[in-house]
Amino acid sequence: MSYTEDNRSRYVEELKEFLRIPSISTLSENKADIRRAAEFTAAQLRQAGMGNVELIEGEGNPLVYGEWVQAPGKPTLLFYGHYDVQPPDPLNEWISPPFEPEIRGENIYARGAADDKGLTLILVKAVEALMATRGVLPVNVKFLIEGEEESGGEHISRYVASKPSRLQADAAVICDTEMFAPELPTLCIGLRGIVYGELIVKGAKQDLHSGVYGGAAPNPIMAAAEILTALKDRDGRIRIPGFYDRVRPPAPQELEAWSRLPFDEEKYRSEEMGSSALTGEPEFTLFERLWARPTLEVHGIRGGFTGEGAKTVIPAQALVKLSARLVADQRPEEAVEQIQKAVAAACPLGVTAEFRPFHCGGPSLINPDNPFIRAAADAMTEVFGKPTVYVRSGGSIPITALFDRHLGIPSVMMGFGLPDDNLHAPNEKLYLPNFYRGIDAVSLYLDIVAQG
């Protein structure tokens, strides 16, 4: 594909322009940036030759839509990505500023480089290259790019549920996952779902002096600690009644395939994670814990005085950000109820505790024998020169469950990120050779799909 080779530096410049927009969807102060990123995405789709390009307005951030549907009798693919990003904090740990993309070696560093602006552009540029060289596409393509993936995706959820005919397709293609290892083409066929919310613990009507009242006053931070340890034990076992009831164990052949993946657990622990130990349920292998077991994690906690020095208060309130990752066949609504019941049961004397969910998404598990999955494996095998492996991901892309439920289509997750891309963390990056190969692999995928 000499066209894509010739255009690499332009692709990178356009990616940089995209990355400079701080389109953080979890912060209301970035509303204008969200719109700029949506408009940038729409312009990219027009430049790629897509028709009917529009910002779909509604409650929440705009969706960006575009299509090329002039291949009658050929399959239709629904391309999904997202233009919003995670907040960049802690800011002081970035080597270069999060919204000033910088290339160091073969990587481009910026918030959103891998999650998901870089990977979204792979889909756009693959289509652009085919249109530029042939004037047509081998299959029909619809793009639906959202701006709330990092903040719950309410808008796209409602849209997919309400407009199944406009979005009708044979398969979705999602470019928001990673390769299992550098140079190893990877298809992700399973994702965890998520329930994310806040646990709010309240004690006395106001902060109290710990000398005067200590011994009689409820302490919401201690209460939060009691509740958290009641929800999950030291070994990582979730103690919420019924939580594991619907968990579907992986098939023996899938477990066996995982055991053959090239993986250095010691390097993963020490270099990638930088942890003194791998934790979690000791009776399960690492990949089971990451891909096939639900989790309960605390993302943040705040309460009382945490400034410089000492202040002897018993705080009136504590706030905990909490999520559960869910696996097939757990149901988000049921998980919320189970968490709420367990919180109520664990709530100590003198405080109130409430878990308020922000957003939910179901888990997803795709049959690897699906022809759209196999075509993707063939395209990646060809471009990367190695057999494609099948894995799952511990992350959540709730849209896959919605595509399944409302459109009845499987999601093909062609991932071109790498395990050390620092998603959601400082110094997020994208490995540029994968950016280029991704574009070629998606182009080839359209041809393979067209051949049926």
Restricted to residues 267-296, the positions that interact with its own copies (CB under 8 A) are 273-281, 286, 289-290, 293, 295
As a whole number of angstroms, the distance between CA 294 and CA 361 comes to: 13
Near its own copies in 138-197, by CB under 8 A: 150-152, 178, 192, 194, 196
Nearer to its own copies, 291 or 372 (CB): 291
Local structure of 404: helix, strand or coil: helix
- Under DSSP, the state recorded for 95 is S
Site string for its own copies, 393-412 (x = CB under 8 A): xxxx----------------
Element (H, E) at 76: strand 76-82
Using rule CB under 8 A, residue 323 touches its own copies: yes
| Shortest CB 324 distance to its own copies, Å | 9
- Range in contact with its own copies (rule: CB under 8 A) among 43-51, 160-168, 212-220, 384-392: 212-220
Using rule CB under 8 A, residue 452 touches its own copies: no
Q: What phi and psi values does residue 186 have, to the nearest 5 degrees?
A: -140, 135
Question: 298 burial class (0-12, 13-18, 19+ CB within 10 angstroms)?
Answer: middle
Nearer to its own copies, 166 or 246 (CB): 246
Nearer to its own copies, 98 or 303 (CB): 303
Nearer to its own copies, 113 or 407 (CB): 113
- Range in contact with its own copies (rule: CB under 8 A) among 49-57, 72-80, 312-320, 375-383: 312-320
Which residue of 188, 208, 401, 448 would you call a contact of its own copies, by CB under 8 A? 208
148, 61 Cβ separation under 8 angstroms: yes
Using rule CB under 8 A, residue 306 touches its own copies: yes
Taking phi over 0 as left and psi of -120 to 50 as alpha, with beta for the rest, 280 belongs to: left
Using rule CB under 8 A, residue 256 touches its own copies: no
- Under DSSP, the state recorded for 61 is S
Element (H, E) at 49: none
- Range in contact with its own copies (rule: CB under 8 A) among 158-166, 251-259, 328-336, 345-353: 345-353
Query: Token digits for 267?
Result: 């390097």
243, 337 Cβ separation under 8 angstroms: no
Using rule CB under 8 A, residue 262 touches its own copies: no
Which letter, b or e, does each residue of 133-146 get, where b requires 16 or more Cβ atoms within 10 Å of its Cβ? eeeebbbbbbbbbb
- Token pair 């990092």: residue: 150
Site string for its own copies, 214-243 (x = CB under 8 A): xxxxxx-xx-xxx-xx--x-x-x-------
Near its own copies in 99-128, by CB under 8 A: none
Nearer to its own copies, 5 or 233 (CB): 233
320, 300 Cβ separation under 8 angstroms: yes
CA dihedral 343, 365, 425, 430 (to 10 degrees): -170
Using rule CB under 8 A, residue 319 touches its own copies: yes
Nearer to its own copies, 43 or 298 (CB): 298
Strands 76-82, 140-146: pairing is parallel
Distance of CA 364 to the CA centre of its chain: 13
Using rule CB under 8 A, residue 32 touches its own copies: no
Among residues 321, 343, 366, which one has the least CA distance to residue 239? Answer: 343
Which residue of 50, 119, 326, 423 would you call a contact of its own copies, by CB under 8 A? 423
Q: Which amino acid is at 146?
A: E
120, 445 Cβ separation under 8 angstroms: no
Nearer to its own copies, 67 or 207 (CB): 207
| Shortest CB 213 distance to its own copies, Å | 6
Nearer to its own copies, 186 or 295 (CB): 295
Which residue of 105, 262, 349, 452 would you call a contact of its own copies, by CB under 8 A? 349
Number of residues engaging its own copies in binding (CB under 8 A) = 99
Which residue of 422, 437, 440, 444 would you call a contact of its own copies, by CB under 8 A? 422
| Shortest CB 281 distance to its own copies, Å | 8
Nearer to its own copies, 150 or 170 (CB): 150
Which letter, b or e, does each residue of 238-251 get, where b requires 16 or more Cβ atoms within 10 Å of its Cβ? bebeebeebeeebe
Local structure of 50: helix, strand or coil: coil
